[in-house]
Amino acid sequence: MEAGKHEICPARGKIQQLTSLPSLAVVKYQLVKALNKDSISIEDISDIVKHDQALASRVLAIANSAFLGYPGRIGAIDQAVMLLGFDLVRSISLAASMFNVFASQYGNLKQIWAHSYVVASIASGLCDKLQGSEKGNCFLSGLLHDIGRLALFRIASESDMDTQIHELARLRGDALLKAEEEMSGCSHTQAAKWFLEHLYFPDEIIVPIEKHHELAGEGPLKKISNIIFLAEGLSDIICPLIAHDSKWTEAHVKLFSEMGLGDKDIDDLKASVETEEASIAKFFDL
Ligand SMILES: [Fe+2]
Ligand SMILES: [Fe+2]
């Protein structure tokens, strides 16, 4: 689809409206309000998250993942805010509330979340190997990288495309993006951009998500964008059994070696994802 056409794409308004879904809207409103306050205390943000028990436990589960560096050591939201920072806990809270909103509708979407968690963990592992990247943003971008697919499922469920869109689940890479464009008027990468912009997510998370199926161009977010692109591709060879929309291509192989990485790194990343496999399954109730 050529530039400009997306601006009038009917899917855009529907995707933006999704951010008004009740449980998402409450968290969005309160967290954005809290973030815009000049002086916000740990208690303020904790109160917002603790208000919803399901949300609080999911935030803690993410905060305690090995990939953020504090496995099993964070017992309370206030502690999570202290260790991980406001921005990250706010983004985690929004991610967790999205899981609640979308998970209640489609059981099979758990596989998408499991794949997302795998990509988040690989991205986080890549950050450890490549100095100078922000690990929290890498993890969150990975966790939310396919949120556009959930948004497209949701808007399709409100139209007569419900069955058709689920048939796209067998497609991967460019073939999937093309089919989504034809069916919904936009790909899941574009849908994610509109959705997350409407939730006031930072560019550090939106840009890598928008670019996760392509090589990043020059710009300040090139490194993190390429990490998410690589993590998405690597999930195809590291966790092939979890349903995924990625493909390990020549472009990934080339970038991987340009970044100074090799087979040994793939083995390391695979081993660290395998150690977390049980908690991924538990977290997503697989
Ligand atoms: Fe994707
Ligand atoms: Fe993906």
Q: How many CB atoms lie within 10 A of CB 224?
A: 24
Instruction: Please give the structure tokens belonging to residue 133.
Output: 């990247």
Q: How many A from CA of 211 to the centre of ligand 2?
A: 11
Q: How many A from CA of 32 to the centre of ligand 2?
A: 27
Q: How many A from CA of 245 to the centre of ligand 1?
A: 6
From the CA of 233, which ligand is nearest?
A: 2
Instruction: Please give the structure tokens belonging to residue 118.
Output: 């795998």
Q: What is the pLDDT of residues 134-158, one digit of tens each?
A: 778 888 899 889 989 888 888 887 7
Q: How many A from CA of 112 to the centre of ligand 2?
A: 8
Q: How many A from CA of 242 to the centre of ligand 2?
A: 11
- 106-286 in CATH: which number? 1.10.3210.10
Average pLDDT of the chain to the nearest whole number: 81
Cα 255 → chain centroid = 21
Question: Angle 110-129/86-103 helices, nearest 10 degrees?
Answer: 160
Q: Is 22 strand, coil or helix? A: helix
The environment of the single-atom ion ligand 2, i.e. residues with CB closer than 5 A, is: 146, 245-246
The environment of the single-atom ion ligand 1, i.e. residues with CB closer than 5 A, is: 146, 245
pLDDT at 33: 64
175 confidence band (pLDDT: 50, 70, 90): very high
User: Is the pTM here over 0.85, yes or no?
Assistant: no
225 confidence band (pLDDT: 50, 70, 90): very high
pLDDT at 1: 46
Q: What is the pLDDT of residues 19-65, one digit of tens each?
A: 777 666 666 666 666 656 566 677 777 777 777 776 777 778 777 77
Angle at 139 between CA 257 and CA 71, to 5 degrees: 115
Closest CA to 20 of 90, 97, 88: 97
Domain boundaries, the chain: 18-104, 106-286
Are 259 and 269 contacting, i.e. CB atoms less than 8 angstroms apart? no
